[in-house]
Structure 1
Amino acid sequence: MGSSQLAFAALLAELTAFYGLGSIDAPDLALSAYLAAHAPASLMLALAVYALIPPARSKPRTSVLSLLFSCIFFVPVLGFVGVLAGALMRHLLPRLKAPQRFSAVRLPDLDIHESSEKSAAGFRQAGVRQFLKNERAPVPQRLRAMVALSHAPSRIGSPVLRELLGDSEDDLRLLAYGLLDSREKRLNADIHEARQRYAASRDAEQRSRVAHQLAALYWELIYQGLVQGDLLDYAVGEALRYSETALQTRGNDPALHLQHGRLLQQMGRLEEADAAYRRARELGLPASRVVPYLAELAFARRDFTQVRALLQTMQDWEGLSRLQPVLKFWGQA
């Protein structure tokens, strides 16, 4: 029997109880007849109302049913009407909900600069750095981004990988360390092979060519940030030594003079670095490759007038997107 049928039967039984109470003259007999009909009416109404109570609030079943029955049975008229009215109001009136202090917010879409189907690992190099540094991003996606970064040029990937050595995720730290270690081992293997060829060569031109190669390999260790501390000082010293050896027979190589100047600048020998840069410019190296280093040397000497003069010659150059903020600053200074 459904709750509506139970309620209707309870109402009929209750009306029967009141009819017996008014039609019988003997008070004791009338009360007994009333209670005999009122008790089953109270039980049926209690069962009908109990079926409407949400499951989370209808436990324990015996206690809830006993409470409903008691309210209906021991409060003859008001109890019956009150419980029945309460059950009807619960379904007829709008439900009252507790105010929500917080609302759910949809996760934002991945930035279009951080993802691309064209990339083998699903990420662009332009946004991979910011994505990897976001510790709230899912770890599997950050690992995919790191794999994409492993295919990027070392000058772009190595600094980012070194930053990730302090990440809170063990998997990311281990992968970053492994990628950096493999790059360092490849360069060290190339250096070892070139040193053997340098020691075995007897021709001056060949030694000069291998010395140039060794200087470039040591510079790669420095440029990629694969050596730190004492190893950095050693790599700079070796690169400088081999570049000076190469210059003895390749003195007209502008790129070698530029590399020599950068090594001298790394060691703090600014005047010698300035001369090397200017010699590279004299030998025909484009100004766009030399002027930024000359401006850097002028800044180190605190010759800000010279910095501004050098950078003003670069204002009309195209393809210098990374230097545009610097050019804009010194153009307004």
Structure 2
Amino acid sequence: MVRRLTPRHLLSLLPLAAGLGLEGRVWALALAGRGWEAAGLQGLAAALQALALAVALHPRLRPGMAPGLLVPWLLAWAVPVLGGLGCWVVLGLLPYRAPPRLDRVVEPVEPPPLPLGAAGRAAAGPAGLSVGTALGILERAPAPEVRIRAVLATRHMEERDAVSVLRVALRDPADEVRLLAYALLERREKRLSAAIRRLAAGLEGLPPARRAAAHQRLAELHWEMAYLGLATGEVLRHYLEEARRHARLALAEAPPGAGAGRAEEGLNRAELHFLLARVALRLEEPEEAHRALVAAAAAGLPRNRLLPYLAEVAFQSRRYGLIPGILAGLDREVYRPELLVALEAQWLPGGSPPAPAAGEGAR
């Protein structure tokens, strides 16, 4: 539907008619071989047609329109008659639809304060700040003393969560925050390193039965160093390899029949095989991890502890079709419901497991 003509439309007809009239002269010059004069006169005609469009535009479209008139000018210059006339008809005569007005006024609000007061601590629990709260404070709190309090709150967190928060604090712009985070990380690392050195120093003097248990403890300490995130890069690989070496030595030096459970000598074959499986998964060796999990099951490790790692083995092996069957056996009374819901939505029937890439089918 064409908009009703207004006085501004009638006024815009004057420069439009002048521009179209000049284009007749342009054709005459072009046929006479006077190309440069024709091009210049066509530019003037295009400018008049762009001016006609500016007059015909709705008043709400005029603010800041000067740069935008370059487009209709180019169209009018490149396409005689149809370019300028078409822009005038489309943009000048078609009805203008004003943007909808909001029914309510948007009022700015201040962001809520960071949860460092009594209410925030109560929401995080009696031990202090939660991991997410501490990370949010480290990323957004402007005052260094507030971020220091978030770093100190890691003393009440689980070890692995605390290390993840402290590693974020190491990138803080304030020196005091970085130094505090480094000191807390170093304290944890020194504690584990001292225990490793102490056990390793007295290893040779132990009788075979106790030496196997000491190797298991050394394997656990090396794994803890990797699991907590205290080691990265090549150092991480070193701790993983050492954990595997000590676990294998513990199994090799254990007396026959020892370690069916947590016996007096402290050996537990099921836990050793389970640790070997976790190390292999961390090193992305799914076949080795599968063998260790089978051995752990034979040694009596509960099925519920094995299933998530068997699913990880299948995932790393790109045997995606096995994962739904493995996860279906998880005990809903053992694992958190929200975790199981997320897993079921992804892998169990009705979900959408990722398809393997070409040439990477089940092996």
TM-score range, shorter chain: 0.5 to 0.7
Residue equivalent to 2:299: 283
Change (3 A) 1:313 1:244: same
Change (3 A) 1:117 1:321: closer
What is the CA deviation profile of residues 137-182 of structure 1, one whole-angstrom value per residue up to 9, with x for unaligned ones?
A: 5432221121111232212211221122112232222111111111
SS at match of 2:141: coil
Residue equivalent to 1:235: 239
Report the CA distance between 1:225 and its aligned residue. 0.9
Residue equivalent to 1:108: 112
Aligned partner (choices 260, 263, 284) of residue 279 of structure 2: 263
Change (3 A) 1:117 1:229: closer
Structure 2 residue 202 is matched with structure 1 residue 197: yes
Contact residue 254 and residue 285 of structure 1 kept, 8 A:
yes
Q: Which has the higher helix share?
A: 1
Residue equivalent to 1:77: none
Higher relative CO (Cα under 8 Å, sequence separation at least 6) belongs to 2
Residue equivalent to 1:46: none
What is the CA deviation profile of residues 267-300 of structure 1, one whole-angstrom value per residue up to 9, with x for unaligned ones?
A: 3332121011122123322222111111011001
Contact residue 291 and residue 310 of structure 1 kept, 8 A:
yes
Q: Show structure 1 runs of 5+ residues with no match.
A: 1-101
Distance 1:149 1:301 in 2: 36
Amino acid across the alignment from 1:258: F
Normalising by structure 2, we get a TM-score of 0.57
Contact residue 114 and residue 137 of structure 2 kept, 8 A:
no
After alignment, is 228-237 or 280-289 more displaced? 280-289
How many residues in Structure 1 have an aligned counterpart in Structure 2?
230
Change (3 A) 1:166 1:217: same
What is the CA deviation profile of residues 199-245 of structure 1, one whole-angstrom value per residue up to 9, with x for unaligned ones?
A: 222x1111101101100110111001111122112111111110001
Residue equivalent to 2:326: 310
Counting aligned pairs with the same residue, the percent is 31
Contact residue 138 and residue 150 of structure 2 kept, 8 A:
no
Structure 2 residue 250 is matched with structure 1 residue 246: yes
Contact residue 215 and residue 239 of structure 1 kept, 8 A:
yes
Residue equivalent to 1:164: 169
Contact residue 286 and residue 313 of structure 2 kept, 8 A:
yes
Structure 2 residue 325 is matched with structure 1 residue 299: no
Contact residue 284 and residue 316 of structure 2 kept, 8 A:
no
Residue equivalent to 1:134: 139
Find the structure with the greater CA-based Rg.
1
Distance 1:284 1:157 in 2: 32
Normalising by structure 1, we get a TM-score of 0.62
Q: Show structure 2 runs of 5+ residues with no match.
A: 1-105, 261-268, 353-363
Distance 1:184 1:195 in 2: 16
Contact residue 114 and residue 127 of structure 1 kept, 8 A:
no
